[in-house]
Amino acid sequence: MSNPCLIIVFNHRYDRNIPVLRKIYSPRFSHLYFLVPFYAGNDPDVIPVYESSYYFQSFFAQGYDRFFREEFTHYIFLGDDCLLNPAIDESNFFRQTGLQEDSGFIPDLIEFHKLKNIEWGDTNRAIDFFHNREGAEVQKELPSREEALQRFAAHGITISPLTRQNIFGNKKIPLIRGWRAELRRQFFLRVKWKQYRKNGKIELPYPVVASYSDLLVVNKESIRQFCHYCGVMASIGLFVEIAIPTALLLSSRKIMQEKDLRLRGKALWLPEEVEAVEKTFNKSISQLMNGFPADQLYFHPVKLSKWNNDL
């Protein structure tokens, strides 16, 4: 029988949202924790963490000793502005979502060599894997490159050298800025990344993937190693949306993605999309909870400080 723990992850310190989130989730999850940067209060369910939001994977490593319990079978990590379907609770999480209990979960997995038309903003951090932040000796803390490639392959993930287009996309830049952008590209391709250049392409020094990471599930079998890898990759300044999916792949035997589930999340990438949801539910948390689409896994983002707390 599953016994999941829900852990709400704050990118920034918003203490006033803690009681709102507790009111939303405590009737549905018996075990609830909050990872809050720089927290200085005395709430026993809140775990203080210390790191930039760009590397919030560190929060998992820092909080591990506080939230880990032998009796927990799964750890559901949820962004504080990512609202989970109110029909989902600890007793039906797997049945409602279709996630298999022996599997971890992350919304998707981006393979950098398959990027074609857009520049994914942090591809450069994947290439600079060991040099984003100096001073940490991590080679012995991670699987070797060869072993990591094998673990990726077990999940059906391949790693191939990157073309210029994979790294920079094909977006046309206005002429007034274009020459500067081209100089920057040539500097990275021919000078800064010279050691990774092979047959006109750039090889990743260590296997990585990317993913949107505001909802993930890690099972008991994987949680300790997952948190360890997250801490290691925070120490070298690897961007969070590369570090988390990479750590999950390295630590888990099985991973499902959103495309594999019964429910789909709703990510609001544009301001007009956020405004449309706010207008539909009149910025009322109560109306949102009561009118939540039955086939939807989550809404993200929902900035609770802008909504009426009328539960």
Beta strands in the chain (DSSP E): 4-9, 32-37, 46-49, 74-79, 83-84, 104-105, 197-198, 201-202, 215-219, 255-256, 264-267, 296-300
Is 70 exceeded by the pLDDT of residue 172?
Answer: no
Position 191 scores a pLDDT of 87
Band of the pLDDT at 177, cuts 50, 70, 90? low
Those residues with Cβ within 8 angstroms of residue 268's Cβ, 6 or more apart along the chain or in another chain:
274, 277, 299, 300, 301
Tell me if the bond preceding 301 is cis, omega within 30° of 0: yes
Counting Cα atoms < 13 Å in the Cβ hemisphere of 160 gives: 11
Tokens representing residue 36 in the block: 């809050």
| Direct distance between the N- and C-terminal alpha carbons of the chain, in angstroms, rounded to an integer | 31
State the pLDDT confidence band at 143, using cuts at 50, 70 and 90. Answer: very high
pLDDT at 116: 81
Q: Which pair of structure tokens corresponds to residue 219?
A: 């099972």
Distance CA 29, CA 90 (A): 5
Residue 57 dihedral angles phi and psi, to the nearest 5°: -60, -25
State CA 70 to chain mean position distance.
Answer: 24
What is residue 175's predicted lDDT score, i.e. its pLDDT?
A: 54
State how far the Cα of 120 lies from the Cα of 123, in Å rounded to an integer: 6
Q: CA neighbours within 13 Å on the CB side: how many for 83?
A: 23
Q: Could you read off the pLDDT of 46-104 as tens digits, one per residue?
A: 999 999 999 999 999 999 999 999 999 999 999 999 999 999 999 999 999 999 999 99
What is the chain's mean pLDDT, rounded?
A: 94
pTM above 0.85, yes or no: yes
> What band does 183 get if pLDDT is binned at 50, 70 and 90?
confident
**Residues 1-57: tens digit of each pLDDT:** 899 999 999 999 999 999 999 999 999 999 999 999 999 999 999 999 999 999 999
Between CA 281 and CA 305 the distance in angstroms is 15
CA proximity to 311, closest of 291, 279, 275, 287:
287
Q: All domains of the chain, ordered by start, with CATH?
A: 4-109+212-306 (3.90.550), 112-202 (no CATH)
Those residues whose C-beta lies under 8 Å from the C-beta of residue 19, and which sit 6 or more positions away, are none
pLDDT for 230: 98
Question: Residue 181 has what pLDDT?
Answer: 76
**Closest listed residue to residue 130, CA positions, set 121, 120, 140, 115:** 140
Burial of 5 by CB count in 10 Å (0-12 exposed, 13-18 middle, 19+ buried)?
A: buried
pLDDT of residue 20: 96
The verdict on whether omega for the bond into residue 86 sits within 30 degrees of 0, i.e. cis, is no
89 vs 5, 30, 154, 162, CA distance in Å?
Answer: 11, 9, 31, 42
Give the per-residue pLDDT at 185: 84
Specify the higher pLDDT residue, 208 or 189: 208
Residue 278 has pLDDT above 60, yes or no: yes
Strand residues in 158-239 grouped as ranges (E): 197-198, 201-202, 215-219
Helix axes 145-154, 240-251, angle to 10 degrees: 80
Residue 266 identity (one-letter amino acid): K
pLDDT greater than 70 at residue 240: yes
Residue 14 has a pLDDT of 95
Q: Is the dihedral of CA 174, 176, 181, 187 positive or negative?
A: positive
- pLDDT surpasses 70 at 179: no
Q: Does pLDDT of 171 surpass 70?
A: no
pLDDT at 219 over 60: yes
